[in-house]
């Protein structure tokens, strides 16, 4: 049986990653931030203009032809798709899923939302 952390570590090298400083330097017009945390966590705070796509529903929200597909994935007008969770592990799995589904420019946000918030308070 594969444990969650083992699976994360095994696929982490199959996706691209972005530090918070790299993600913050991207032109907001060119970036789509995808928050894969729970609805409660998203509502408690998230990266500005992020799209909420709970991890358990991700495939339904992205897949062409799905009645749940979000328009933002249908259009794919962004150059960068930065995926994050709270600490950066669930988003590894989500980034791999999005990459496999053909979403362009997918990167995992290293350290997740917790790191984003920490770097905001460093200013």
Q: How far is CA 68 from CA 21, 50, 58, 60, 82, in A?
A: 32, 18, 10, 6, 21
Give pLDDT tens digits for 33-54. Answer: 999 999 999 999 999 999 999 9
DSSP class of 89:
S
Give pLDDT tens digits for 55-93. Answer: 999 999 999 999 999 998 887 788 999 999 998 888 999
Q: Please choose, from the candidates 108, 46, 58, the residue with its C-alpha nearest in 3D space to the C-alpha of residue 83.
A: 108
Decide if 14 contacts 96 (C-beta within 8 A).
Answer: yes
Name the residue ranges covered by the structural domains of the chain: 4-121
How far apart CA 119 and CA 54 sit, in angstroms, is 24
Q: What is the mean pLDDT of residues 4-14?
A: 77
Does domain 4-121 match CATH 3.40.250.10? yes
């Amino acid at each position: 049986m594969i444990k969650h952390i083992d699976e994360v570590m095994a696929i982490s090298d199959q996706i691209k990653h972005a530090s918070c400083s790299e993600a913050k330097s991207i032109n907001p017009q060119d970036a789509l931030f995808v928050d894969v945390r729970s609805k409660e966590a998203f509502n408690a705070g998230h990266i500005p203009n992020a799209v909420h796509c709970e991890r358990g529903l991700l495939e339904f929200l992205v897949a062409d032809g799905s009645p749940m597909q979000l328009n933002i994935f249908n259009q794919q007008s962004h150059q960068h798709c930065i995926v994050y969770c709270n600490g950066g592990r669930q988003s590894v799995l989500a980034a791999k899923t999005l990459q496999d589904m053909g979403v362009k420019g997918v990167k995992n946000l290293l350290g997740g939302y917790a790191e984003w918030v920490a770097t905001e308070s460093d200013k």
